[in-house]
Chain A
Amino acid sequence: MAYLELKNVSKFFGTVAAVKDFNLAVEKGEFVSLLGPSGCGKTTTLRMIAGFEMPDTGTITLDGEDITSVPPNKRGTGMVFQAYALFPNMTVRDNVAFGLEVTGHPKAEIEEWVREMLALVRLPGAGKRYPHQLSGGQQQRIALARALAIRPRVLLLDEPLSALDAVVRVALRGEIRRIQLGLGITTVYVTHDQEEALSISDRVVVMNQGLIEQEGSPEEIYRQPKTRFVAAFIGTANQLNGEVVDRAQVRFGDVLLQVPVPSHLGASSRVVVLVRPESIALHATAPDSHQPNVLTGTVQTITFLGPITRVAVDVNGTRVVADVIAANRAVLAHNQRVWLTFDPEACQVMANP
């Protein structure tokens, strides 16, 4: 049995299902992210684990104990909120100590533990300051220290970085992962930022409209998206609409693409071929005739993205984007004719309903 388990959990708001028949098993010490667009049910799921929402059906167990109807202040889950959750009337020390004081821990132990927590989040000297005297990133570090101070069985993070600016966000997510690994604490992290989810999680659960679209390691989610939604939501993927010819070929316009076609897709079924921009090579001259998967078109837009340049090419009316190392972009010009090639292994074929 997994450490934290959600079984057949559903939650309705009125007649709208926020979460539908949700099943998730989180192992002890694992870092799982719930990823999806706003309104996909990820926050509702997290709030059910914390006890702020009661599931309409299903059970939640933690360390073998059924906590479905345990009130939130008896669950021992530590939660970090999006923003403004520190108590503005208390100093940093009092904020971190709050959870220990209300549950009646001895004073000496509290002082010791507060010191330790502040050192853990690398703000050892902030104890006497008030939340408004701290930056947004520092406030979230304190919120993390406060949540960890109660020695929670699970750490829950509800988009803790979304109110922060980009640089702080990247730095702090690294900190969160470092602390999580150091303590070995089971963590559920909610975010709508796919880069964030992929970079810090052991496992990612992609949600859409209250349902799990796919769960797996960040690599699996990125390399083998199971649905078009996941493919479109995670990173950028070109979607080429075509028709199956045989087990290894798909017709895309007047080009026969060499791609691995899954066995459940029969001949002449409508499919979509997914290719990531970084898997596509761009050529200024026509490549060798024996190359598989050659598309040709004219350059529409050239977008400089720092280390890479993203080139959008119009291939007979379909927009296909390819990433080129920035240094190689000099030869490109608008409306220039270019050739695109990609390996069959870089493609994924899925049914096009």
Chain B
Amino acid sequence: MRQRHSIFQILLIGLFVTYMLIPIIATYVFSVATKWDASILPEGYTLEWYQIAFEHPYFSITLTNSFIVSFSAVIAGLLFIVPTTYWVHTRLPSAKPLLDMLMILPFGIPAVVLALALIRVYNFAPLARSPLLLISGCVIFSMPFMYRPVSNSLMAIDVHTLTESALNLGANTLQILVRVIAPNILPGILSGSLLVFATVFAEFTLANLITGASFKTFPILLVEFTKQDGRVAAALSVISFTVAWIASLAILWVSGRGRKPMEEALGAR
């Protein structure tokens, strides 16, 4: 009975992993396939599609634009969401349910609605259809991904006592935030940054509607290629995956040194 149960579990997990991995593997294979329509495996392999992708005049422009938007959204999140969350946790705990609710709203509003609303309200220069408006939209759109992990981290530490100890020792709010609170909620800040970066990097609807052709992002280029040649689009997808991986690893690596003692400290509790 027990044996059958575990076989069933392995089978289920196996199915799930296959379901998750097949599209990714297929995309990787498709991006290096010469022809792949009537056979189980491609008829031949080539790097031609990557060459086309890299040589496309918009390749580096859209990649740069996407980086600008993603990094700006992460930085805005760090500058606005993190202090706000901290402030509500320590000074205005009664407002926390309200903030929790506000942070669910972006999930409830479709990106199309958000984009059209932003375009209509901010229809004046210099904001109208500008990259700045796109970044602002992305900040709203990705807010919950920064808020949730940061809020959870703040709940896991004794943020009140830490704040009061630091205040008592003469620190000002900025010093407390940077030297005491931020290092202790670093795991939350990091996963929040990663989630925001990945979400915004892959964001298509807002970019397409707000800036469109005037400030093309990587997903827009990808969608354009889907209409022309699926294999080049697959190559672009692989590049997009790779960028997300490198960004994740970079953030983890940069924080690696400062993180260790704190992880030990949290583990010891």
Contact = CB atoms under 8 A, between A and B. Distances in A.
A98 B171 contact: yes
B207 to A, nearest CB: 38
Interface stretch (A74-82, A168-176, A324-332): A74-82
Interface residues of A, number: 28
A73 interface: yes
Contacts of A52: 164, 167
A270 to B, nearest CB: 47
Nearest to A50: B168
A102 interface: yes
Given A89-B183, A131-B265, A102 B161 contact: no
B165 interface: yes
A87 B172 contact: no
B17 interface: no
Contacts of A229: none
Contacts, number: 80
A263 interface: no
Given A74-B170, A102-B170, A132-B269, A84 B264 contact: no
A76 B161 CA distance: 17
A103 B183 CA distance: 20
A144 interface: no
Contacts of B157: 88
- Most B CB contacts (10 A, CB to CB) among A81, A87, A99, A103 go to A87
Contacts of A77: 168
B268 interface: yes
Contacts of B169: 73, 78, 98-99, 102, 146-147, 150
A132 B184 contact: no
Contact of A132 (B172, B258, B268): B268
Contact of A99 (B170, B258, B266, B268): B170
A72 interface: yes
B261 interface: yes
Contacts of B262: 88-89
A102 B171 contact: yes
A255 interface: no
A138 to B, nearest CB: 14
Interface in B227-269: 258, 261-262, 264-266, 268-269
B165 A85 contact: yes
Nearest to B173: A73
Interface string B121-141: 000000000000000000000
B166 A98 contact: yes
Contact of A81 (B161, B261, B269): B161
Interface in A89-142: 89, 98-99, 102-103, 130-132
A87 to B, nearest CB: 6
A302 to B, nearest CB: 44
Contacts of B162: 85, 87
B175 A81 contact: no
Nearest to B171: A102
B170 A88 contact: no
B180 interface: yes
Given A89-B265, A102-B175, A130-B265, A72 B168 contact: yes
Interface in B151-169: 157-158, 161-162, 164-169
Contacts of B179: 98, 102
A150 B165 CA distance: 12
Contacts of B269: 132
Interface string B94-119: 00000000000000000000000000
A103 B171 CA distance: 7
B265 A132 contact: yes
B168 A87 contact: no
A88 B266 contact: yes
Nearest to B185: A89
B165 to A, nearest CB: 4
A102 B265 CA distance: 23
Given A89-B262, A131-B265, A73 B165 contact: no
B183 A102 contact: no
Interface in A46-88: 50-52, 71-74, 76-79, 81, 84-88
A89 B261 contact: yes
A275 B110 CA distance: 77
Contact of B168 (A79, A86, A89): A79
A72 B171 CA distance: 9
Contacts of A102: 166, 169-172, 175, 179
Contacts of A89: 180, 183-184, 258, 261-262, 265
Interface in A234-291: none
15 contacts: A52-B167, A72-B164, A73-B168, A73-B170, A78-B169, A85-B162, A85-B165, A86-B165, A87-B165, A88-B265, A89-B180, A99-B170, A102-B170, A132-B264, A150-B169
Interface of B: 157-158, 161-162, 164-172, 175, 179-180, 183-184, 258, 261-262, 264-266, 268-269
Given A50-B164, A78-B168, A85-B158, 5 more contacts: A73-B171, A79-B164, A89-B180, A89-B265, A99-B171
Q: Which 3 A-B pairs have the closest CB atoms?
A: A99-B169, A132-B268, A89-B183
